[in-house]
Structure 1
Amino acid sequence: MIRRRDTILLTGFGPFPGVANNASQRLVPKLAHLAARRFSAHRVVSRILPTEWDRAPARLEDLYKRERPKLVLHFGVSAHADAYVIETIARNRRKLVEDAAGKLPSDDVILKGGPEEIAARLPAEDVKQRLHAINVPAVTSRDAGSYLCNAVLYHSLIRAEQTGTPDGVGFLHIPREILPAALASHMAPGTMRFDWGTALIGGLEIIRTCLGRPPPSRRRIKNG
Protein backbone atom coordinates (compact mmCIF):
# COMPACT_ATOMS: atom_id res chain seq x y z
CA MET A 1 0.00 0.00 0.00
CA ILE A 2 1.43 3.37 -1.02
CA ARG A 3 1.38 5.92 1.79
CA ARG A 4 0.00 9.32 0.85
CA ARG A 5 2.65 12.00 1.25
CA ASP A 6 1.81 14.90 3.53
CA THR A 7 1.09 18.10 1.63
CA ILE A 8 2.63 21.53 2.14
CA LEU A 9 0.40 24.26 0.71
CA LEU A 10 1.96 27.62 -0.17
CA THR A 11 -0.20 30.52 -1.29
CA GLY A 12 0.45 33.99 -2.61
CA PHE A 13 -1.81 36.76 -3.90
CA GLY A 14 -2.48 38.28 -7.26
CA PRO A 15 -2.53 42.03 -8.00
CA PHE A 16 -4.71 44.46 -6.07
CA PRO A 17 -5.27 48.24 -6.16
CA GLY A 18 -1.89 49.98 -5.90
CA VAL A 19 0.09 46.77 -6.49
CA ALA A 20 0.06 45.76 -10.14
CA ASN A 21 2.84 43.19 -9.68
CA ASN A 22 2.52 41.22 -6.46
CA ALA A 23 5.91 39.87 -5.34
CA SER A 24 4.25 36.95 -3.53
CA GLN A 25 2.83 35.79 -6.87
CA ARG A 26 6.40 35.38 -8.11
CA LEU A 27 7.92 34.07 -4.88
CA VAL A 28 5.52 31.23 -4.12
CA PRO A 29 5.98 29.14 -7.30
CA LYS A 30 9.76 29.52 -7.11
CA LEU A 31 9.79 28.55 -3.45
CA ALA A 32 7.50 25.58 -4.10
CA HIS A 33 9.83 24.32 -6.84
CA LEU A 34 12.83 24.40 -4.51
CA ALA A 35 10.88 22.98 -1.57
CA ALA A 36 9.63 20.02 -3.62
CA ARG A 37 13.25 19.05 -4.24
CA ARG A 38 14.47 19.79 -0.72
CA PHE A 39 11.56 18.12 1.12
CA SER A 40 10.89 15.24 -1.23
CA ALA A 41 8.96 13.25 1.39
CA HIS A 42 6.19 15.87 1.03
CA ARG A 43 3.98 17.08 -1.77
CA VAL A 44 4.41 20.83 -2.24
CA VAL A 45 1.51 22.70 -3.82
CA SER A 46 1.58 26.40 -4.71
CA ARG A 47 -1.48 28.44 -5.59
CA ILE A 48 -2.19 32.13 -6.12
CA LEU A 49 -5.32 33.44 -4.44
CA PRO A 50 -7.40 36.23 -5.95
CA THR A 51 -7.14 39.37 -3.84
CA GLU A 52 -10.90 39.49 -3.44
CA TRP A 53 -13.07 39.44 -0.32
CA ASP A 54 -15.36 36.65 -1.50
CA ARG A 55 -13.28 34.61 -3.91
CA ALA A 56 -10.13 34.25 -1.77
CA PRO A 57 -11.78 32.37 1.14
CA ALA A 58 -13.84 30.27 -1.28
CA ARG A 59 -10.71 29.32 -3.20
CA LEU A 60 -8.91 28.57 0.05
CA GLU A 61 -11.72 26.29 1.24
CA ASP A 62 -11.56 24.41 -2.04
CA LEU A 63 -7.80 23.95 -1.65
CA TYR A 64 -8.21 22.63 1.89
CA LYS A 65 -10.76 20.05 0.74
CA ARG A 66 -8.77 18.99 -2.28
CA GLU A 67 -5.22 18.99 -0.90
CA ARG A 68 -5.77 18.14 2.80
CA PRO A 69 -2.53 19.94 3.73
CA LYS A 70 -0.51 19.33 6.90
CA LEU A 71 1.27 22.68 6.66
CA VAL A 72 -0.13 25.88 5.15
CA LEU A 73 1.99 28.99 4.68
CA HIS A 74 0.46 32.10 3.17
CA PHE A 75 2.59 34.89 1.69
CA GLY A 76 1.60 38.46 0.92
CA VAL A 77 3.20 41.87 0.49
CA SER A 78 3.28 44.84 2.83
CA ALA A 79 4.39 48.40 2.13
CA HIS A 80 5.87 48.47 5.65
CA ALA A 81 7.95 45.30 5.36
CA ASP A 82 11.69 45.26 4.74
CA ALA A 83 12.10 41.67 6.02
CA TYR A 84 10.12 38.50 6.52
CA VAL A 85 7.31 39.60 8.83
CA ILE A 86 6.05 36.57 10.74
CA GLU A 87 2.42 37.22 11.64
CA THR A 88 1.35 35.71 14.95
CA ILE A 89 -2.27 36.88 15.24
CA ALA A 90 -5.29 37.06 12.92
CA ARG A 91 -8.10 39.40 13.93
CA ASN A 92 -11.80 39.28 13.13
CA ARG A 93 -11.90 42.56 11.23
CA ARG A 94 -12.07 43.82 7.67
CA LYS A 95 -11.14 47.20 6.32
CA LEU A 96 -13.88 48.75 4.21
CA VAL A 97 -11.75 49.17 1.11
CA GLU A 98 -12.07 47.79 -2.40
CA ASP A 99 -10.53 44.50 -3.43
CA ALA A 100 -9.01 43.66 -6.82
CA ALA A 101 -12.51 43.38 -8.32
CA GLY A 102 -13.50 46.81 -7.01
CA LYS A 103 -15.82 45.37 -4.35
CA LEU A 104 -16.14 46.29 -0.69
CA PRO A 105 -16.49 43.64 2.04
CA SER A 106 -20.05 42.93 3.10
CA ASP A 107 -19.24 43.59 6.77
CA ASP A 108 -16.43 44.98 8.91
CA VAL A 109 -15.92 41.57 10.54
CA ILE A 110 -14.82 38.35 8.87
CA LEU A 111 -17.05 35.99 10.82
CA LYS A 112 -20.03 37.18 12.84
CA GLY A 113 -19.75 35.75 16.33
CA GLY A 114 -16.23 34.50 15.61
CA PRO A 115 -13.33 34.94 18.04
CA GLU A 116 -11.86 38.44 18.12
CA GLU A 117 -8.39 37.05 17.49
CA ILE A 118 -6.73 33.69 16.80
CA ALA A 119 -3.06 32.77 17.26
CA ALA A 120 -1.17 31.50 14.24
CA ARG A 121 -0.05 27.88 14.29
CA LEU A 122 3.67 28.24 13.72
CA PRO A 123 6.78 28.58 15.93
CA ALA A 124 7.26 32.29 15.26
CA GLU A 125 10.23 32.92 17.57
CA ASP A 126 12.04 29.81 16.36
CA VAL A 127 11.47 30.87 12.76
CA LYS A 128 12.84 34.35 13.46
CA GLN A 129 15.94 33.02 15.21
CA ARG A 130 16.61 30.47 12.48
CA LEU A 131 16.31 33.15 9.80
CA HIS A 132 18.66 35.48 11.67
CA ALA A 133 21.16 32.61 11.95
CA ILE A 134 21.42 32.48 8.14
CA ASN A 135 21.44 36.28 7.81
CA VAL A 136 17.85 36.62 6.58
CA PRO A 137 16.06 39.66 8.06
CA ALA A 138 12.92 38.72 10.01
CA VAL A 139 10.62 40.18 12.65
CA THR A 140 7.47 38.99 14.39
CA SER A 141 4.21 40.94 14.27
CA ARG A 142 0.92 40.92 16.14
CA ASP A 143 -0.92 42.94 13.49
CA ALA A 144 -1.54 41.43 10.06
CA GLY A 145 -3.61 44.45 9.05
CA SER A 146 -7.26 44.31 8.07
CA TYR A 147 -7.11 43.56 4.36
CA LEU A 148 -7.02 40.21 2.55
CA CYS A 149 -3.79 39.03 4.22
CA ASN A 150 -5.40 39.09 7.64
CA ALA A 151 -8.68 37.71 6.27
CA VAL A 152 -7.03 34.70 4.63
CA LEU A 153 -5.03 33.91 7.77
CA TYR A 154 -8.19 34.18 9.87
CA HIS A 155 -10.11 31.85 7.55
CA SER A 156 -7.26 29.33 7.61
CA LEU A 157 -7.03 29.36 11.38
CA ILE A 158 -10.79 29.08 11.88
CA ARG A 159 -10.84 26.03 9.64
CA ALA A 160 -7.88 24.50 11.47
CA GLU A 161 -9.66 25.01 14.80
CA GLN A 162 -12.87 23.47 13.52
CA THR A 163 -11.28 20.41 11.93
CA GLY A 164 -8.12 19.94 13.99
CA THR A 165 -5.90 20.15 10.90
CA PRO A 166 -3.58 21.32 9.54
CA ASP A 167 -1.05 21.34 12.36
CA GLY A 168 0.79 24.35 10.96
CA VAL A 169 -0.81 27.54 9.61
CA GLY A 170 1.05 30.81 9.21
CA PHE A 171 1.33 34.03 7.28
CA LEU A 172 4.49 35.78 6.12
CA HIS A 173 4.55 39.33 4.82
CA ILE A 174 7.35 40.24 2.42
CA PRO A 175 8.39 43.62 0.98
CA ARG A 176 6.48 44.94 -2.00
CA GLU A 177 9.75 45.44 -3.82
CA ILE A 178 12.43 42.74 -3.62
CA LEU A 179 15.97 43.65 -4.64
CA PRO A 180 17.53 41.94 -7.66
CA ALA A 181 20.53 39.88 -6.56
CA ALA A 182 22.85 42.02 -8.70
CA LEU A 183 22.01 45.15 -6.69
CA ALA A 184 22.13 43.39 -3.35
CA SER A 185 25.61 42.05 -4.11
CA HIS A 186 27.01 45.59 -3.80
CA MET A 187 25.88 45.91 -0.18
CA ALA A 188 28.39 45.52 2.65
CA PRO A 189 29.24 41.90 3.56
CA GLY A 190 27.16 40.62 6.47
CA THR A 191 24.39 43.17 5.85
CA MET A 192 20.91 41.72 6.22
CA ARG A 193 19.21 42.30 2.91
CA PHE A 194 16.07 41.12 1.17
CA ASP A 195 16.84 40.13 -2.39
CA TRP A 196 15.32 37.23 -4.33
CA GLY A 197 18.01 34.77 -3.30
CA THR A 198 17.57 35.72 0.34
CA ALA A 199 13.80 35.41 0.04
CA LEU A 200 14.13 31.86 -1.29
CA ILE A 201 16.74 30.77 1.24
CA GLY A 202 14.54 32.22 3.98
CA GLY A 203 11.42 30.57 2.63
CA LEU A 204 13.07 27.15 2.71
CA GLU A 205 14.23 27.75 6.27
CA ILE A 206 10.70 28.76 7.32
CA ILE A 207 9.33 25.50 5.91
CA ARG A 208 12.14 23.49 7.48
CA THR A 209 11.52 25.03 10.90
CA CYS A 210 7.76 24.47 10.69
CA LEU A 211 8.41 20.81 9.82
CA GLY A 212 10.53 20.48 12.94
CA ARG A 213 13.73 19.75 11.05
CA PRO A 214 17.20 20.86 12.23
CA PRO A 215 19.05 23.67 10.49
CA PRO A 216 20.93 22.66 7.31
CA SER A 217 24.57 23.13 6.54
CA ARG A 218 25.11 26.53 5.00
CA ARG A 219 24.71 26.43 1.24
CA ARG A 220 23.89 28.99 -1.37
CA ILE A 221 20.81 28.90 -3.56
CA LYS A 222 21.35 30.18 -7.06
CA ASN A 223 18.81 32.89 -7.80
CA GLY A 224 16.72 31.98 -10.82
Structure 2
Amino acid sequence: MKKLLLTGFEPFLDYSLNPTAEIAKRLDGEIIGSWKVAGAVLPVAFSNTWEQCLLQIEKEKPDAVMLLGLAAGRDKITPERVAINCADGDKDNDGIVKQDELIENEGPAAFFSTLPIRKFVNALEKDGIPAGISNTAGTYLCNYLMYRVCHHFESADQKVPAGFIHIPASEELALELGHVPGMPQEKLADAVRKMIGCLD
Protein backbone atom coordinates (compact mmCIF):
# COMPACT_ATOMS: atom_id res chain seq x y z
CA MET A 1 0.00 0.00 0.00
CA LYS A 2 1.22 3.50 -0.87
CA LYS A 3 1.47 6.28 1.68
CA LEU A 4 0.27 9.87 1.33
CA LEU A 5 1.54 12.64 3.57
CA LEU A 6 -1.35 15.07 4.05
CA THR A 7 -0.59 18.32 5.85
CA GLY A 8 -2.74 21.13 7.19
CA PHE A 9 -1.89 24.31 9.09
CA GLU A 10 -2.70 25.50 12.59
CA PRO A 11 -4.87 28.65 12.99
CA PHE A 12 -3.17 31.89 11.99
CA LEU A 13 -3.69 35.65 11.74
CA ASP A 14 -7.22 36.44 12.96
CA TYR A 15 -8.65 32.98 12.26
CA SER A 16 -9.60 31.11 15.44
CA LEU A 17 -9.59 27.79 13.61
CA ASN A 18 -8.17 26.29 10.46
CA PRO A 19 -10.26 23.70 8.60
CA THR A 20 -7.12 22.22 7.03
CA ALA A 21 -5.88 21.15 10.46
CA GLU A 22 -9.16 19.37 11.09
CA ILE A 23 -8.96 17.58 7.74
CA ALA A 24 -5.38 16.42 8.33
CA LYS A 25 -6.35 15.07 11.76
CA ARG A 26 -9.59 13.49 10.57
CA LEU A 27 -8.06 11.67 7.60
CA ASP A 28 -4.96 10.52 9.47
CA GLY A 29 -4.84 6.73 9.26
CA GLU A 30 -7.62 6.42 6.68
CA ILE A 31 -7.21 4.12 3.72
CA ILE A 32 -8.49 5.66 0.50
CA GLY A 33 -8.11 3.52 -2.59
CA SER A 34 -4.55 2.23 -2.55
CA TRP A 35 -3.38 5.03 -0.25
CA LYS A 36 -2.90 5.15 3.51
CA VAL A 37 -3.03 8.71 4.81
CA ALA A 38 -0.54 10.11 7.29
CA GLY A 39 -1.93 13.44 8.47
CA ALA A 40 0.12 16.20 10.10
CA VAL A 41 -0.62 19.72 11.30
CA LEU A 42 2.15 22.24 10.68
CA PRO A 43 2.97 25.54 12.41
CA VAL A 44 2.44 28.83 10.59
CA ALA A 45 6.00 29.99 11.12
CA PHE A 46 8.77 30.66 8.62
CA SER A 47 11.27 29.46 11.24
CA ASN A 48 10.12 25.85 11.37
CA THR A 49 7.20 25.08 9.03
CA TRP A 50 9.48 23.44 6.49
CA GLU A 51 11.58 21.74 9.14
CA GLN A 52 8.49 20.14 10.67
CA CYS A 53 7.29 19.05 7.24
CA LEU A 54 10.69 17.57 6.42
CA LEU A 55 10.58 15.57 9.66
CA GLN A 56 7.27 14.10 8.50
CA ILE A 57 8.69 13.32 5.05
CA GLU A 58 11.68 11.54 6.59
CA LYS A 59 9.45 9.67 9.05
CA GLU A 60 6.72 8.59 6.63
CA LYS A 61 8.74 8.27 3.40
CA PRO A 62 5.58 9.12 1.43
CA ASP A 63 4.82 8.16 -2.14
CA ALA A 64 3.00 11.49 -2.59
CA VAL A 65 2.57 14.72 -0.62
CA MET A 66 -0.61 16.79 -0.54
CA LEU A 67 -0.33 20.13 1.26
CA LEU A 68 -3.50 21.92 2.35
CA GLY A 69 -4.02 25.56 3.22
CA LEU A 70 -6.86 27.91 4.01
CA ALA A 71 -7.83 30.58 1.49
CA ALA A 72 -10.66 32.36 3.31
CA GLY A 73 -12.56 34.30 0.68
CA ARG A 74 -12.27 31.74 -2.09
CA ASP A 75 -15.49 29.93 -2.89
CA LYS A 76 -14.05 26.73 -4.35
CA ILE A 77 -11.36 24.10 -3.90
CA THR A 78 -8.29 25.40 -5.73
CA PRO A 79 -5.29 23.17 -6.47
CA GLU A 80 -2.29 25.39 -7.07
CA ARG A 81 -0.41 25.20 -10.34
CA VAL A 82 2.83 26.90 -9.28
CA ALA A 83 4.94 28.04 -6.33
CA ILE A 84 7.35 30.94 -6.76
CA ASN A 85 10.71 31.67 -5.15
CA CYS A 86 9.46 34.55 -3.04
CA ALA A 87 8.46 34.96 0.62
CA ASP A 88 6.38 38.01 1.41
CA GLY A 89 3.20 39.01 3.21
CA ASP A 90 1.62 39.21 6.64
CA LYS A 91 3.42 38.32 9.84
CA ASP A 92 3.48 34.66 10.78
CA ASN A 93 2.48 33.24 14.16
CA ASP A 94 5.91 34.18 15.54
CA GLY A 95 5.45 37.78 14.44
CA ILE A 96 7.99 37.41 11.63
CA VAL A 97 7.38 39.36 8.43
CA LYS A 98 9.06 38.44 5.16
CA GLN A 99 9.32 40.99 2.36
CA ASP A 100 10.61 40.26 -1.13
CA GLU A 101 12.86 37.45 0.15
CA LEU A 102 14.08 34.54 -1.89
CA ILE A 103 13.09 31.19 -0.43
CA GLU A 104 16.16 29.52 -1.95
CA ASN A 105 19.01 31.81 -3.01
CA GLU A 106 20.15 29.45 -5.75
CA GLY A 107 16.73 27.97 -6.45
CA PRO A 108 14.72 28.26 -9.66
CA ALA A 109 12.12 30.98 -10.08
CA ALA A 110 9.23 28.54 -9.67
CA PHE A 111 8.07 24.95 -9.37
CA PHE A 112 4.98 23.46 -10.94
CA SER A 113 2.79 21.08 -8.97
CA THR A 114 3.39 17.44 -9.81
CA LEU A 115 -0.04 16.40 -8.53
CA PRO A 116 -2.75 15.67 -11.14
CA ILE A 117 -4.49 18.98 -10.53
CA ARG A 118 -6.69 18.93 -13.64
CA LYS A 119 -7.87 15.45 -12.71
CA PHE A 120 -8.67 16.76 -9.23
CA VAL A 121 -10.77 19.61 -10.56
CA ASN A 122 -12.64 17.43 -13.06
CA ALA A 123 -13.47 14.85 -10.39
CA LEU A 124 -14.68 17.45 -7.90
CA GLU A 125 -16.82 19.27 -10.44
CA LYS A 126 -18.33 15.96 -11.56
CA ASP A 127 -19.52 15.51 -7.96
CA GLY A 128 -20.90 19.05 -7.83
CA ILE A 129 -18.10 20.43 -5.67
CA PRO A 130 -16.91 23.89 -6.83
CA ALA A 131 -13.29 23.64 -7.93
CA GLY A 132 -10.79 25.33 -10.22
CA ILE A 133 -7.05 25.50 -10.80
CA SER A 134 -5.36 28.50 -9.19
CA ASN A 135 -2.29 30.02 -10.80
CA THR A 136 -1.04 31.72 -7.65
CA ALA A 137 -0.40 30.27 -4.23
CA GLY A 138 0.44 33.79 -3.05
CA THR A 139 3.74 34.50 -1.28
CA TYR A 140 2.88 33.54 2.31
CA LEU A 141 3.47 30.23 4.12
CA CYS A 142 1.41 28.19 1.63
CA ASN A 143 3.59 29.16 -1.31
CA TYR A 144 6.70 28.90 0.89
CA LEU A 145 5.92 25.32 1.89
CA MET A 146 5.01 24.16 -1.60
CA TYR A 147 8.24 25.64 -2.96
CA ARG A 148 10.34 24.01 -0.23
CA VAL A 149 8.75 20.60 -0.70
CA CYS A 150 9.12 20.65 -4.49
CA HIS A 151 12.70 21.91 -4.20
CA HIS A 152 13.50 19.11 -1.76
CA PHE A 153 12.27 16.33 -4.02
CA GLU A 154 13.91 17.79 -7.12
CA SER A 155 17.23 18.26 -5.32
CA ALA A 156 17.06 14.66 -4.06
CA ASP A 157 16.09 13.46 -7.56
CA GLN A 158 13.00 11.79 -6.09
CA LYS A 159 9.93 11.49 -8.29
CA VAL A 160 7.40 12.05 -5.51
CA PRO A 161 4.21 13.82 -6.67
CA ALA A 162 3.71 16.90 -4.51
CA GLY A 163 1.70 20.10 -4.52
CA PHE A 164 -0.58 22.46 -2.67
CA ILE A 165 -4.35 22.81 -2.50
CA HIS A 166 -6.18 25.78 -1.06
CA ILE A 167 -9.60 25.23 0.45
CA PRO A 168 -12.31 27.73 1.41
CA ALA A 169 -13.39 28.49 4.93
CA SER A 170 -15.52 25.96 6.74
CA GLU A 171 -19.08 27.07 7.52
CA GLU A 172 -18.08 27.48 11.15
CA LEU A 173 -15.24 29.84 10.26
CA ALA A 174 -17.35 31.67 7.67
CA LEU A 175 -20.03 32.34 10.27
CA GLU A 176 -17.41 33.66 12.65
CA LEU A 177 -15.87 35.97 10.05
CA GLY A 178 -19.22 37.03 8.64
CA HIS A 179 -18.03 38.11 5.21
CA VAL A 180 -16.61 35.06 3.42
CA PRO A 181 -18.16 32.02 1.71
CA GLY A 182 -17.93 28.68 3.44
CA MET A 183 -18.44 24.95 2.93
CA PRO A 184 -19.42 22.34 5.53
CA GLN A 185 -16.33 20.86 7.19
CA GLU A 186 -17.33 17.33 6.20
CA LYS A 187 -17.79 18.39 2.58
CA LEU A 188 -14.28 19.82 2.60
CA ALA A 189 -12.96 16.54 4.02
CA ASP A 190 -14.87 14.56 1.40
CA ALA A 191 -13.39 16.75 -1.34
CA VAL A 192 -9.91 15.91 -0.10
CA ARG A 193 -10.81 12.22 -0.02
CA LYS A 194 -12.00 12.52 -3.62
CA MET A 195 -8.68 14.08 -4.67
CA ILE A 196 -6.70 11.39 -2.88
CA GLY A 197 -8.72 8.81 -4.81
CA CYS A 198 -7.57 10.50 -8.02
CA LEU A 199 -3.96 9.62 -7.21
CA ASP A 200 -4.56 5.95 -8.08
* TM-score class, shorter: 0.7 to 0.9
Residue in 2 that maps onto 1:37: 31
Question: Which of these residues, 66, 69, 84, is aligned with residue 77 of structure 2?
Answer: 84
1:137/1:194 contact within 8 Å kept: no
| Secondary structure of residue in 1 paired with 2:52 | helix
1:9 aligns with 2:5: yes
Q: Which amino acid aligns with 1:175?
A: P
Residue in 1 that maps onto 2:171: 179
Residue in 1 that maps onto 2:179: none
Q: Which amino acid aligns with 1:196?
A: Q
Distance 1:141 1:119 in 2: 12
TM-score, length-normalised on structure 1?
A: 0.79
Residue in 1 that maps onto 2:14: 18
List 4+ stretches of structure 1 deviating above 4 A: none
1:70/1:165 contact within 8 Å kept: no
Greater Rg by CA = 1
TM-score, length-normalised on structure 2?
A: 0.88
Query: Mind listing any 5+ residue stretches in structure 2 that lack a counterpart?
Result: 176-181
Residue in 2 that maps onto 1:198: 187
1:157 aligns with 2:157: no
Distance 1:134 1:96 in 2: 35
Residue in 2 that maps onto 1:67: 60
Q: How does 1:204-219 map to 2 (within 5 A)?
A: 204-211=193-200
2:9/2:18 contact within 8 Å kept: yes
Residue in 2 that maps onto 1:57: 50
| Secondary structure of residue in 1 paired with 2:28 | helix
Question: Which of these residues, 71, 88, 93, is aligned with residue 95 of structure 1?
Answer: 88
Tell me the number of residue pairs that the alignment of Structure 1 and Structure 2 aligns.
192
Residue in 1 that maps onto 2:24: 28
Once the two structures are overlaid, the 10-residue window that deviates more, 194-203 or 101-110, is 101-110
1:88/1:119 contact within 8 Å kept: yes
Q: Give the RMSD, CA atoms, in angstroms.
A: 2.0
1:170 aligns with 2:163: yes
Q: Deviations over 1:84-118 (max 9, x none)?
A: 11101000001153110112348611111211111
Question: Which of these residues, 135, 152, 169, is aligned with residue 142 of structure 1?
Answer: 135
Distance 2:69 2:39 in 1: 13
| Secondary structure of residue in 2 paired with 1:146 | coil
How far 1:210 moved relative to its partner?
A: 2.0
